[in-house]
Chains A and B, each alone.
Chain A
Amino acid sequence: MPEPFLTPGEPADGALIARWKAGDERAASQLVARHAAAVSRFVASLGARQDVEEIVQDTFVRAFASLEGFREESSFRTWLFTIARNLVRDRSRSERMRRVTVPILEEHAATEHDALDRVVAGETEDRMRSAVQRLSPTQRAVFMLRVTEGLSYREIATVVGSTEGAARVHYHHAMRAIKELLDD
């Protein structure tokens, strides 16, 4: 599987994984440096703005801890996306459960808005972000993986646990919804 994010001469993920398994801790640093930005971007796009770093770290710790089970049927980055998405989903579920008994305080809501406002840099960007945030979680994940990370439908299907055709349909539905929201 091609790794378009590699520059010529850089070792492939598989080689770094083998080195890390052999005890080379620097290989982990290289792999983290190579993929951390994409994973954090993906995690943030799924709506987990507050705990991005924690989720990204947990993603890498879990991925490396279970490297024995990684068969390289997908790319290492796709595997990271899959773990990250599952972590975000688990966290969202537990947060929903907590919301049943713990009311959201006003200052928390205000903080979230402030953080969002800091990220938004203009009206157009604001509208784009709003449009993407209105997508369903699966549509959003598919769309962001396709547009910002350039994954193929097959890789996206691996991440979101669907078929290639379903990923394609999700992408086109998301694209249509975004166009409609931007045209309003």
Chain B
Amino acid sequence: MTDCPRADMRDLLPDLMHGALDAASRAEVGRHVTTCESCAQELALLRSLRDTFSVAPAIDVTCIAAAVNRARNTAPAAGHARRAPTGWRHDWRIAAAFLLAALGVGGYTLKGASRRSTIAPAVQVASRTGQSMPAPATSRPDAVHGTPASAAPPPAAARPSTAGASGTALAAPSAGLMLSAGVNDLPAADIQALLDAVNQMDAIPRVDPAPVLEPAGEDIL
């Protein structure tokens, strides 16, 4: 079956079939169809297709109308009914909320653990450098977690005066930050070192913590 080159005529064949053309257009298209075999065949095909698909599946109109009126009389229930088909969207939102909550709790727990165990990497660093025990995070939790210090800045006399002491003092918050970021982010060697430090926590003699100081104006984050 070939196509008629008059696309404008072919465009109007469904309208001719449905009686949707005005008198002038109907006469023009009708004349064309009588002289164009392609359009006549296409119009016959359109009629066959319309007849084939014209049978509507049986539905209960009364039931649908009742459902419409019932939905209006019970507006909140209708609202729920409208949302039902797209309920899966809410499901993933709930799942996402649970995931975020779990991450939040996990992060908080990890931070708490890091706050309690910051002394271990600090001791480890101190033992490597052979210097005196630096301050644990318990004296300055805001330094460990990177929050701005709310307390008044320490007096200048209390600041470390040597480069070694300063470097040691910075080591503790760094270890704490790494823990807060997530153990999975650490290289294997560091994880092993942390595990060793945790294992040796009971073996290491506890020392009184000295205050941890950080360079003035430096944000550890």
From A62, A97, A129, A150, contact of B52 by CB (8 A): A129
Q: Decide yes or no whether B85 CB sits under 8 A from chain A.
A: yes
Q: Mark B2-26, 1 if CB is under 8 A from A, else 0.
A: 0100010011001101111000000
Where chain A touches its partner, the secondary structure class is helix
Is B188 an interface residue, CB under 8 A from the partner?
no
Q: Which residues of B have CB within 8 Å of A182?
A: 1, 45
Measured between C-beta atoms, what is the minimum distance from A102 to chain B in Å?
Answer: 14
Distance between Cα atoms of A96 and B42 in the complex (Å)? 36
What is the bound-complex CA distance between A87 and B81, given in angstroms? 13
CA of A87 to CA of B84, assembled, Å? 12
- Given the known interface contacts A33-B61, A61-B78, A168-B11, the answer about A45 and B53 at a Cβ–Cβ threshold of 8 Å is yes
A62 to B7 Cα, complex, angstroms? 38
Q: Is the pair A61, B59 in contact by a Cβ cutoff of 8 Å?
A: no
B64 to A56, Cβ gap below 8 A?
yes
Whether A107 is near chain B, meaning CB under 8 Å from some CB there, is no
A172 CA to B11 CA, complexed, in Å: 8
The residue on A at minimum CB distance from B70 is: A61
Partner of A175, one of B19, B42, B50: B42
Q: Which of chain B's residues have a CB closer than 8 A to the CB of A124?
A: 48
Answer yes or no: B158 CB below 8 A from chain A CBs. no
When the two chains form their complex, are residues A32 and B61 in contact, meaning their CB atoms are under 8 A apart?
yes
In the complex, are the beta carbons of B69 and A28 less than 8 A apart?
yes
Tell me, rounded to whole Å, the shortest Cβ–Cβ distance linking A48 to chain B: 10
| B14 lies within 8 A of A147 (CB) | yes
Residues from chain A with Cβ under 8 Å of B54 in the complex: 41, 148
Q: Is the CB of A58 within 8 A of B85?
A: yes
Question: Contact between A29 and B52 (Cβ–Cβ < 8 Å)?
Answer: no
Cα distance, A29 to B46, chains bound together (Å): 32
Name the interface residues of B47-67: CB closer than 8 Å to any CB of A.
48-50, 52-57, 59-65, 67
From residue A11, how far is it (CB to closest CB) to chain B in Å? 16
* Contact of A41 with B49 at beta-carbon distance under 8 Å, contacts A4-B19, A28-B69, A64-B71 already known: no
- In the complex, the answer to whether B85 meets A65 with C-beta atoms within 8 Å is no
Residues of B within 8 A of A94 (CB): 85, 88
Which of chain A's residues have a CB closer than 8 A to the CB of B3? Answer: 176, 179
Q: Are A37 and B18 in contact (CB-based, < 8 A)?
A: no
16 contacts between A and B (CB under 8 A): A36-B56, A36-B61, A36-B64, A37-B59, A52-B57, A57-B63, A61-B67, A61-B71, A62-B82, A64-B71, A65-B78, A124-B48, A147-B46, A148-B50, A150-B14, A150-B20
**Interface contacts beyond A64-B68, A124-B48, A168-B11: sample of 8 additional A-B pairs, CB < 8 Å, sorted by A:** A38-B56, A61-B64, A65-B71, A146-B14, A150-B17, A150-B18, A179-B45, A183-B1
